[in-house]
């Protein structure tokens, strides 16, 4: 069996910064479309002298490659008319372009960089399998930013703008980012523009400017479930889907909020002074009513059981990706129904 040579998610940025010439074919894929786009553009820019020169950069759509797989080989092996570096930018859509890519990978490597832009691909998707198993190709996964990646993104943008982000403002900003790299970067740049010339960015600036649709919709969906409002879930799910959030993001938001509720509820039952006004990171004002309702309707023991049930739903969604959306919807509905019964 051919050994897998997939690039680890933690090594992707290093590869993009210094692409391996021995792996001229690069597949960029994943659920974070903004990050996919950002990395594709960086690779293309690093592979040609002039991205606007049609002789240096050729763009191919999936329909073309599916109808004529040999087109990819022809373009990759074409010698630039006026010299210089050449690249091919192929977009993978609903059509299967794996045969065209596989045929290219079977040939001796050329100096032409081939960058393939794709969406979220299952582990057994033909295009992903072909690129992950080829020694002359690299498959770069693009997953939603975690806390470390978001912190680095914020720091870089603030430094470029000559601004300092106050700790409490950072605590408020972080939960509002992460659904999509392009959206996150856009929100940070909006914030930097709003605070330009003032040196520091505070909580009031974040509240006034940042309103990431994906993050706020996710929070509202999860809060609605834990507050015991099953009748409102369908509407909230529609908002989340419209904002482009993945099933993985929904589960992550639910597990994160469940952990927070358990922590807060345990403190309340232990007799410790507790107020939502003092939690970190600060809650968005739109969330407080729903979170207060959830804390009234759940106790620590029932939240512990909910953790186990949610973990089982996450595992089931990974085992059967085709049903992941349905599994997530049912898991949230179950949470909402149990919360409503507790309140009755």
CATH number of the domain encompassing residue 178: 1.10.8.60
Residue 64, in any domain of the structure: yes
- Whether 221 and 334 map to the same domain: the answer is yes
**Positive/negative CA dihedral, 147, 282, 258, 303:** positive
Q: How far apart are CA 114 and CA 35, in angstroms?
A: 18
Q: Look up residue 137 and give its two tokens.
A: 């190709």
- Whether 114 and 66 map to the same domain: the answer is yes
Residue 2, in any domain of the structure: no
- Whether 196 and 219 map to the same domain: the answer is no
Domain CATH code at residue 331: 1.20.272.10
pLDDT per residue as tens, the chain (344 positions): 344 566 888 889 999 999 999 999 999 998 888 899 999 999 999 999 888 887 889 999 988 898 898 999 999 988 877 778 899 999 997 788 999 999 999 998 788 999 999 988 888 999 999 999 999 999 999 987 888 888 999 999 999 999 999 998 888 788 777 767 887 888 899 999 999 988 999 988 887 777 555 667 788 899 999 999 998 888 888 878 766 678 888 998 899 899 999 999 998 999 877 788 777 667 766 788 899 999 999 999 999 999 999 999 999 998 998 899 999 999 999 999 999 887 66
Residue 4, in any domain of the structure: no
pLDDT at 343: 67
Residue 105, in any domain of the structure: yes
pLDDT at 214: 60
Residue 88 sits in which domain range? 9-141
pLDDT at 212: 53
Residue 75, in any domain of the structure: yes
- Whether 247 and 265 map to the same domain: the answer is yes
pLDDT at 143: 86
pLDDT at 3: 46
Residue 129, in any domain of the structure: yes
- Whether 128 and 165 map to the same domain: the answer is no
Domain CATH code at residue 130: 3.40.50.300
pLDDT at 172: 79
- Whether 22 and 105 map to the same domain: the answer is yes
Instruction: Name the residue among 118, 139, 122 with its Cα closest to residue 12.
Output: 139
- Whether 63 and 184 map to the same domain: the answer is no
Q: Who's near 151: CB < 8 A, 6+ residues apart?
A: 174
Q: How many structural domains compose the chain?
A: 3
Q: How far apart are CA 122 and CA 315, in angstroms?
A: 15
Residue 316, in any domain of the structure: yes
Residue 195, in any domain of the structure: yes
* Residue/partner pairs of 75-81 with CB below 8 Å, 24 or more apart: 75/112, 76/104, 76/110, 76/112, 76/114, 77/107, 77/110, 77/112, 78/112, 80/55, 80/56, 81/55
Helix (H) or strand (E) holding 25: strand 25-29
């Amino acid at each position: 069996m051919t050994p897998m040579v997939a690039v680890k998610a933690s090594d992707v940025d290093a590869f993009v910064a210094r692409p391996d010439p021995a792996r001229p074919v690069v597949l960029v894929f994943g659920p974070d479309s903004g990050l996919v786009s950002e990395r594709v553009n960086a690779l293309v820019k690093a592979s040609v002298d002039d991205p606007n020169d049609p002789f240096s950069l050729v763009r191919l759509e999936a329909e073309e490659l599916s109808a004529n797989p040999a087109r990819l080989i022809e373009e990759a092996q074409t010698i630039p008319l006026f010299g210089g570096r050449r690249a091919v930018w192929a977009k993978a859509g609903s059509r299967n372009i794996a045969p065209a890519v596989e045929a290219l990978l079977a040939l001796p490597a050329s100096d032409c960089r081939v960058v393939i832009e794709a969406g979220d691909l299952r582990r057994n998707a033909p295009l992903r399998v072909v690129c992950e198993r080829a020694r002359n190709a690299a498959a770069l996964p693009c997953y939603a930013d975690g806390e470390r990646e978001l912190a680095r993104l914020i720091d870089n943008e603030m430094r470029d703008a000559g601004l300092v982000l106050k700790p409490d403002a950072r605590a408020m900003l972080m939960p509002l980012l992460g659904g999509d790299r392009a959206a996150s970067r856009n929100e940070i740049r909006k914030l930097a523009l709003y605070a330009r010339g003032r040196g520091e960015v505070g909580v009031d600036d974040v509240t006034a400017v940042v309103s990431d649709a994906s993050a706020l919709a996710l929070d509202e969906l999860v809060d609605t479930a834990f507050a015991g409002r099953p009748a409102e879930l369908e509407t909230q799910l529609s908002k989340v889907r419209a904002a482009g959030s993945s099933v993985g993001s929904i589960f992550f938001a639910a597990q994160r909020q469940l952990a927070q509720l358990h922590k807060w509820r345990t403190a309340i039952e232990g007799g410790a002074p507790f107020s939502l006004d003092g939690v970190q990171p600060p809650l968005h004002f739109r969330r407080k009513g729903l979170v207060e309702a959830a804390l009234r309707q759940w106790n620590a023991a029932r939240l512990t059981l909910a953790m186990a049930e949610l973990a089982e739903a996450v595992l089931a969604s990974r085992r059967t990706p085709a049903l992941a959306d349905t599994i997530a919807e049912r898991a949230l509905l179950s949470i909402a129904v149990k919360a409503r019964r507790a309140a009755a």
